[in-house]
Structure 1
Amino acid sequence: MNYIKHLTGFYENLLLDNTLNPTHISLYIALFQFWNFNRFRNPTIISRDEVMRISKINSKATYHKCLKNLHTLGYIDYQPSYNPFKGSQVIMFDFAGTLKPVSLSKKDKGSL
């Protein structure tokens, strides 16, 4: 997993999506960090308290709303456990393959 390409692909998708706000981005980056800690294995087991702490989200309602939005919009696949002793599962989708080469115009090439 090339995490630089992945995050670049995520941000390219984000530019086209007007529904996400900074809280969604913060939550996604926290989930990405969990995925990274688990060596990019899917699914990744998450703890609500830990993800909320890392993402700096203080409201459980906001956390769940943003998590469900990320799921509905296709950024993640969220599978809640409803068991307080077992973490929920998140599948992170690979955005590294969504990168498209950008061709430089003659004007842009002249400034290189």
Structure 2
Amino acid sequence: MNYPSKPVIEDKNAPILFDKETILKSFSFFFSAIEKDYRISSTHLGIFSALLRYSILQGFANPIRAFSYQIMPLAKISASGTYHKHIRELSQYGYIKYEPSFKNNKPSRIYFITH
């Protein structure tokens, strides 16, 4: 007897896998948008680039789940205060969506905006 299969329940916390085209869209969106945005500094650029690199290393995941200590060396940042200030600003400015976990044993979630 054939029973209907169980419905697939999507995990809302599961990462959406990027592909090369989506990474390029995110990269292109970011650099087009910041051309005239005087608020963006080289620190913001370093963090955004490090986040993209981390996503690629994690199999093109979006969102990425990461601790600050995993991103900071990629962005060449040594002070956690600098990292947190600038990643929050990238989120406030609409370039990423940053969901801090506020827990030492749980990574934050960072979504790429791909307009």
Normalization by structure 1: what TM-score?
0.77
| Residue in structure 2 matched with residue 42 of structure 1 by the alignment | 62
Say if 2:110 is the partner of 1:90: yes
Say if 2:18 is the partner of 1:18: no
Contact 2:65 2:108 in 1 (8 A): yes
Say if 2:80 is the partner of 1:60: yes
* Structure number with higher helix proportion: 1
Aligned residue pair count: 95
| Residue in structure 1 matched with residue 15 of structure 2 by the alignment | none
1:24 counterpart SS class: helix
RCO higher in 1 or 2 (8 Å CA, sep ≥ 6)?
1
- Identity fraction in percent: 27
Question: CA offsets, 1:31-90, max 9 Å, x none?
Answer: 111222233333210121110011001111111110110000001111111111111111
Quote the Cα distance in structure 1 between the aligned partners of 2:100 and 2:25.
28
Q: How far has the Cα of 1:6 moved from its partner?
A: 3.0
Runs of 5+ consecutive residues of structure 1 not aligned to the other structure: 96-112
1:18 counterpart SS class: coil
Quote the Cα distance in structure 2 between the aligned partners of 1:93 and 1:6.
6
Quote the Cα distance in structure 2 between the aligned partners of 1:22 and 1:28.
10
1:16 counterpart SS class: coil
Normalization by structure 2: what TM-score?
0.75
CA RMSD of aligned residues (A): 1.5
